[in-house]
């Protein structure tokens, strides 16, 4: 028996929308799984065939919306190459966890060119990645301290910043970190490769 996929077409804008949606669900899921916010400030939704927890905190939702809207702009301009989410101890300002997503864009694809893809296959890749991120709590160190988070965009040097609210930041590198390569997904225009680095307990 052979399996048959459903072919759809996407262009650059469609690929950007897929990636923006992924980061929305992914970052909310990490915030929940790593207990950065109280669990009762999240609500369960069904997406990608998974139960994903999304924040109901209005201030956080507004902040993330600003992040994702700007991400969409940078992706459409083909200027965004990495997204990093760092978890930082509030008392020592020490980075204890660093989620990194490398973004490779096929610059040979023109803005309006339609690329044939199997959207169901892309959704399956994303589902498998989010499922792996959720399962990472089995090996990541327990977070006992109060923790904040920061989201970084690594862009071309000539990228125009949207406002004074955006600024050059530290890379939040963790010395002598343990690092685990995670799954990836590919829209045929963008390829996303994920990893997580973390500080070992006692080091």
Over residues 140-150, the pLDDT tens digits come to 999 988 999 99
Asked whether residue 188 is domain-assigned, the answer is yes
Over residues 181-193, the pLDDT tens digits come to 999 999 999 999 9
Asked whether residue 1 is domain-assigned, the answer is no
φ/ψ (deg, to 5) at 70: -70, -35
Asked whether residue 2 is domain-assigned, the answer is no
As a whole number of angstroms, the distance between CA 161 and CA 82 comes to 16
Over residues 84-139, the pLDDT tens digits come to 999 999 999 999 999 999 999 999 999 989 999 999 999 999 999 999 999 998 99
Going along 11-146, which residue ranges are E strands? 42-47, 50-55, 80-89, 95-105, 115-118
Please tell me the pTM assigned to this model. Answer: 0.90
pLDDT confidence band for 180 (50 / 70 / 90): very high
Cβ-contact 83, 151 below 8 angstroms:
yes
Asked whether residue 73 is domain-assigned, the answer is yes
pLDDT confidence band for 2 (50 / 70 / 90): very low
* CATH assignment at residue 127: 3.30.900.10
Q: Output the CA torsion sign for 129, 134, 138, 143.
A: positive
Q: Which three-class secondary structure state does DSSP give residue 80?
A: strand
Over residues 7-57, the pLDDT tens digits come to 588 999 999 999 999 999 999 999 999 999 999 999 999 999 999 999 999
Could you tell me the residue range of the domain that residue 154 belongs to? 7-198
Number of domains the chain contains = 1
């Amino acid at each position: 028996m052979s399996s048959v996929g459903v072919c759809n077409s996407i262009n650059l804008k469609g690929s950007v929308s897929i990636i923006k949606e992924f980061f929305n669900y992914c970052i909310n899921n990490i915030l929940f799984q790593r207990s950065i916010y109280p669990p009762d400030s999240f609500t369960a939704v069904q997406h990608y065939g998974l139960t994903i927890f999304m924040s109901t905190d209005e201030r956080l939702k507004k902040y993330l919306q600003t992040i994702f809207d700007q991400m969409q702009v940078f992706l459409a301009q083909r200027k965004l190459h990495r997204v990093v989410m760092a978890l930082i101890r509030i008392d020592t300002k020490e980075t204890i966890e660093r989620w990194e997503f490398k973004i490779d864009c096929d610059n040979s694809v023109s803005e309006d060119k339609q690329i044939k893809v199997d959207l169901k296959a892309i959704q399956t890749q994303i589902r498998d990645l989010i499922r792996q991120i959720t399962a990472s709590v089995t090996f990541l160190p327990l977070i006992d301290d109060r923790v904040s988070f920061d989201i970084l965009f690594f862009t071309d040097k000539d990228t125009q910043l949207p406002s004074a609210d955006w600024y050059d930041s530290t890379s939040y590198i963790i010395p002598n970190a343990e690092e685990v390569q995670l799954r990836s997904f590919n829209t045929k225009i963008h390829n996303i490769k994920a990893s997580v680095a973390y500080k070992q307990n006692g080091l």
